[in-house]
Amino acid sequence: MIGSILLLSVAALSPQDALSPERFARKLSRISPRPELRSDPTNAVASDEDAARLGQALFFDARLSPDERFSCATCHDPALGFTDGRSLPQGRGPLMRNTPTLFDVGRRRWLFWDGRTDTLWAQIRHPLESPHEMDGDRLALAHLVRTDEGYRAQYEALFGQLPELEDSQRFPARAKPMPEHREDPRHLAWQAMSASDRALIDEVLVNVSKSLASYQSRLETGPSKLDLFAEAYLAGDPAGGGHLSPEARRGLDLFLGKGQCTLCHMGPELTDEEFHHLAVPPLNDELPIDAGRHLGALLVKKDPFNASGEHSDQPKGERADFVQLLISDADQFGEMRTPSLRNVAQTAPYMHQGQFQTLEEVVRFYSTLEGAQRTGHHQELTLTPADFTAREEEDLVAFLRSLTAPLTAASWAVAPKEPSSSR
Ligand code: HEC
Ligand code: HEC
């Protein structure tokens, strides 16, 4: 779809060396300033401070995984730009995609490299319940929130009374749907529950997830050097207040001009929120071929927790339309979401398998496309090498480093001071 058309136009446009001042200003005004974050209408507690505080405590709580080995922050470590700093995460089992940052994650339209969820809250149950990640389950989560006095009080103030879970016949200690492991005792325990009890548990899962989403949407970053430069430049100062080094300033020209980066890294978030196949060489030969958006689009459409489903607080609206109108076709095979480039200098390694350790390697790839490996149906629809000179490559990297900015509220980057009461 859109991805293929853009890829075609990359190949068809001839690179330009310099932009006129008018075109430069016009293009600059499209990437800065950033608009305010829009609250997620599918999550009624998205803007609620108390929900965010509950979510913050849960984010740093290793009890979400049964052997207490993993909290969300284990892989999304604030000290490493909310990533794990590895090409592929060290989970409980093999994982085949790089851990994305959570900086500005409240602004994403689709979550995950393949966009298989469409809201921040629907995303949570994947890491929580995946046997390869935390291997938790929704029953254990509900029991934790009910037995921990701090969580229980916070939860009930937000969402009303928790269901009575004492009857272990009705509410086993551990259970979740595991369609791929039908013999697992937790799957069997889930199957044995009544539909109405399962619905009660799903509601707790969704409410907890919406609190975690409310927390994560506060991981907003402030203005970067690019934004300070743009503000001054667009106000009439050709030096842009001196906020960019000469290298980064030249890199910005390349980013908007010859490099054609804004065909995909467009708008103030420096992403089109769409999916493309760059044919980046795989990290190693052992990893399976990744269907990317092709499967992601199918999964999000049939996800009962999507923006148009019964758990959404706005099942008819813009976000619901995105998923309702979505098409999955073979052309999307291998496509990955265009990442935002804000704070990119803090979130190495890069690409969906962490194939590149440094920004220098990324830019080198765009320059030469060396080793590009195409899968699926994209043979003719690919990027062409940008053929940067060595100095241009350095300039682009300097520009990418100018996109760094701290969190607007640093207090969200640490575990809450008063942990939940039973700790
Ligand atoms: C074992 C490491 C690991 C743990 C633990 C983990 N994550 Fe992740 N997270 C990942 C990986 C890997 C991805 C990307 C997976 C993909 O794209 O298929 C991801 C993706 C995400 C995304 C999507 C970001 C984006 O830009 O699309 C969010 C949000 C997220 N995780 C939040 C959480 C939360 C909340 C928890 C705790 C409940 C958590 N993660 C636990 C590794 C982990
Ligand atoms: C055709 C769309 C497209 C164009 C044009 C494009 N990118 Fe990308 N970019 C992507 C996609 C998609 C990914 C993720 C690819 C993957 O993981 O397989 C990506 C990844 C990146 C990353 C790694 C980010 C991370 O967090 O892993 C950087 C840095 C980057 N691009 C910079 C650039 C620069 C600089 C240019 C211009 C020279 C450019 N891109 C042009 C679509 C594009």
- Per CATH, the number for 2-31+221-292+333-401 is 1.10.760.10
Q: Is the peptide bond before 100 cis (omega within 30 degrees of 0)?
A: no
CA atoms within 13 A on the CB side of 280: 21
Rg, C-alpha atoms of the chain = 23
pLDDT tens digits for range 300-321: 999 999 999 999 999 999 999 9
Beta bridge partners of 350: 356
**Which ligand gives the minimal distance to the CA of 96?**
1
Q: Which of 40, 68, 69, 75 to mutate to test ligand 1, by most ligand atoms within 8 A of the CB atom?
A: 75
Q: Report pLDDT for 20.
A: 92
Give the residue from 386, 398, 34, 33 showing the smallest Cα distance to 252: 398
135 CA to centre of ligand 1 in angstroms: 13
The ligand 1 atom nearest the CA atom of 337: 27
Q: Given the CA of residue 3, which atom of ligand 2 is nearest to it?
A: 1
For residue 201, the SS3 value is: helix
Taking the CA of residue 349 as reference, the ligand 2 atom at the shortest distance is 27
Give the separation between CA 17 and CA 23, rounded to whole angstroms: 13
The architecture CATH gives domain 49-220? Orthogonal Bundle (1.10)
Identify which ligand lies nearest to the alpha carbon of 58: 1
Both tokens of 337, joined, read 């979401």
- For ligand 1, the distance from its centroid to the CA atom of residue 127, given in whole angstroms, is 6
Cα–Cα distance for residue pair 21/173, rounded to 1 Å: 65
Q: How many CB atoms lie within 10 A of CB 141?
A: 25
Q: Which helix (H) or strand (E) holds 108?
A: none
User: How many Å lie between the centroid of ligand 2 and the Cα of residue 276?
Assistant: 9
What averages of pLDDT result for each successive group of 10 residues across the chain (423 residues)? Answer: 44 59 96 96 98 98 95 97 97 93 98 97 96 96 98 98 97 97 97 98 98 98 98 98 98 96 97 95 94 96 96 95 90 95 98 98 96 65 86 98 97 82 46
Sorted by where each begins, the domain ranges of the chain are 2-31+221-292+333-401, 49-220
pLDDT digits (tens, 9 = 90+) for 210-232: 999 999 999 999 999 999 999 99
Burial class (CB in 10 A: 0-12, 13-18, 19+), 238: exposed
| Domains 2-31+221-292+333-401 and 49-220 belong to one CATH topology | yes
The first and second tokens of residue 137, run together, are 């389950």
Q: Which mutation among 86, 338, 357, 374 tests ligand 2's pocket best, with the greatest number of atoms within 8 A of CB?
A: 338
Q: 3-state class of 181 per DSSP?
A: coil
Q: Which ligand lies nearest to the CA atom of residue 101 in the structure? A: 1
**What residues have CB less than 8 Å from 84, skipping those under 6 apart?**
74, 75, 76, 77, 90, 99
How far, in Å, is the centroid of ligand 2 from the Cα of 366? 8
CA 84, CA 95: separation in Å to the nearest integer?
13
Contacts of 414 (CB under 8 A, 6+ apart): 60, 78
The C-alpha atoms of residue 412 and residue 307 are separated, in whole angstroms, by: 26
What is the end-to-end Cα distance of the chain in Å, rounded? 50
Distances (CA, A) of 50 to 41, 55, 159: 17, 9, 11
Ligand 1 centre to CA of 240 (Å) is: 37
pLDDT of residue 93: 86
Nearest-CA residue for atom 18 of ligand 1: 112
Task: Give the pLDDT of residue 375.
Answer: 62
pLDDT, position 376 = 58
Tokens of 19: 């932009």
Please report the pLDDT score of residue 94 as a whole number: 87
* Largest Cα–Cα separation, the chain: 72
Q: d(Cα 67, Cα 80) in Å, to the nearest integer?
A: 24
Q: Which ligand is nearest to the CA of 69?
A: 1
Among residues of the chain, what percentage have pLDDT more than 90?
Answer: 88
The whole-angstrom separation of Cα 182 and Cα 30 is 50
| Closest by CA position to 251, among listed 360, 408, 166, 340 | 360
Question: For a pocket test of ligand 1, which of 76, 110, 208, 273 has the largest count of ligand atoms closer than 8 A to its C-beta?
Answer: 76
pTM: 0.95
Q: Are 4 and 331 in contact (CB under 8 A)?
A: yes
Encoded tokens for 328: 């999955």
Residues with CB under 6 A from ligand 2: 6-7, 10, 255, 259-261, 263-265, 276, 278, 280, 336, 338-339, 341, 344, 347, 350-352, 359, 362-363, 366, 383, 386, 396, 400
Nearest atom within ligand 2 for CA of residue 355: 17
